[in-house]
Homo-oligomer: A and B are copies of this chain.
Amino acid sequence: MKTLDAVLDRIDKDIDQSVERLFALLRIASVSTDPAFKDQCRIAAEHVAADLKSIGFEATVRPTAGHPVVVGKSNGVAGPRVLFYGHYDVQPVDPLNLWKTPPFEPRIETLPDGRKIIVARGACDDKGQAMTFIEACRAFKAVTGKLPLPITMMIEGEEECGSKNLFGFVRDNAAEFKLDLALVCDTAMWDQKTPAVTTSLRGLVYEDVKITCADRDLHSGVFGGAAQNPLRLLSQILGEMWDDKGRVTIPGFYQGVKDLPADIKADLKGLDLTAEKFLGPIGLKKPAGEQDRMLIEQITTRPTAEINGIIGGYTGEGAKTVIPGEASAKVSFRLVGEQNPENIRDAFRTFVRTRVPADCKVEFGNFGLAPPIQLSFDNPALTKARTVLGEEWGHKAVAVGAGGSIPIVADFKNVLGMDSLLVGFALDDDRVHSPNEKFDLKCYHKGIRSWARILDALSAS
């Protein structure tokens, strides 16, 4: 029996215990944003560290200004050195009354279509996903007495509140974490049958813009027609950010944006993501992005501009004939390829400034400057992972882009010079961040098997 087959067999036989171990972690209410749960976060970190020790890691709970980071190291074997990243913290549970059972009392439920699901806060994001990797390690250890590669674990406790202390932690300890490849398990499958490797993450520029005209609110009966209105300026300026083909009009915006390789584009086309399938469930029909791009490109591999909020003037019931003195908007950009966040921020600010009259004032605030991440399509680890994922799931694994950002992955690249292989087993209906979060038992089980295959494939290099 080959080692891998023995490991997979062990995983199958041990699945009930694997679920029990996940349940034990899910019972810890490690909500990171709420100070009331600070102790629970520490307990979760210690729980994870103890578990890692039990399978041969030298594990420590490392302090930060916020919640601690669990670091585990297992060396002493040959092969590429990998850094696994995951997080033990979870989202808040409100609104609590929408949960069918208490969020920190995990249970198995059988859906009408026969799927068995694990229900709890964190079942998927990210306790369940992180445990797929840990359980794969456990199976290797049980079968072979060691891990297949030199592995460093980094399980943090602040992902759900922006990983704000992790950036400094990684920078301060760059020598420890500068390895050959990062592995991340916090993304999704394409669908229930189709595994996916996320090869790009869009970057983010998030700006707050405030326009001030008069130094006070004005009565529109007195000043209407003569006083500049900041809501009119905001509407006009922000409304000009797109042309009638859905392209962003900010000069230089598309610099660094490249077309996909033909084969990857063909794969994406083959996924046949229709507007009906993607937009139908949210009540829409027509994609609003660049008209000459496929929907799947619009949401993953093309850059976007969005207005996330506007406020100004009177917004209560009924009428108030006011011309406000100021108005504000939140505007964000998703970046791809080699778009530079600082350049995009500057181009946006110039775009706005040149449209604000000299007697009015504009101020900006920045709440995000994350560069996009792109894994080279010919990265050998990517090729191996796609191959073995296809073997496990019986369906070709697709290389997809993710519309959102995982900021620490950008630091792995920019600070540590390390690519990340993002493989995850979440499904669209997992209700991540919402009440009744779940993780398919099949995704958990085959997720563990998938990581075993990937570790085996990587160790063969």
A residues with CB within 8 A of B: 202, 204, 206, 213-216, 218-229, 231-232, 234-242, 275, 278-279, 282-290, 295, 298-299, 302, 304, 306-315, 318-324, 327-330, 332, 334, 357-360, 367-368, 402-405
Contacts and interface: CB of A to CB of B under 8 A. Distances in A.
A240 B299 CA distance: 28
Nearest to A295: B226
A300 to B, nearest CB: 8
Given A235-B235, A313-B309, A313-B330, A226 B287 contact: yes
Contacts of A309: 231, 312-315, 320, 322, 324
Given A213-B284, A308-B313, A299 B204 contact: no
Q: Is the interface of A mostly helix, strand, loop or mixed?
A: mixed
Contacts of A295: 226
A100 B284 CA distance: 57
B236 A242 contact: yes
B403 A223 contact: yes
Nearest to A287: B226
Contacts of A213: 283-284
Given A227-B279, A232-B307, A236-B239, 14 more contacts: A204-B321, A214-B283, A221-B402, A223-B282, A224-B299, A226-B295, A226-B299, A231-B308, A232-B241, A232-B242, A235-B236, A285-B359, A308-B320, A309-B320
Nearest to A310: B310
Contacts of A368: 319
A360 B286 CA distance: 10
A226 B367 contact: no
Given A215-B283, A359-B285, A359-B286, A307 B226 contact: no
Contacts of A285: 358-359
A282 B227 contact: yes
Given A239-B238, A286-B358, A299-B223, A318 B229 contact: no
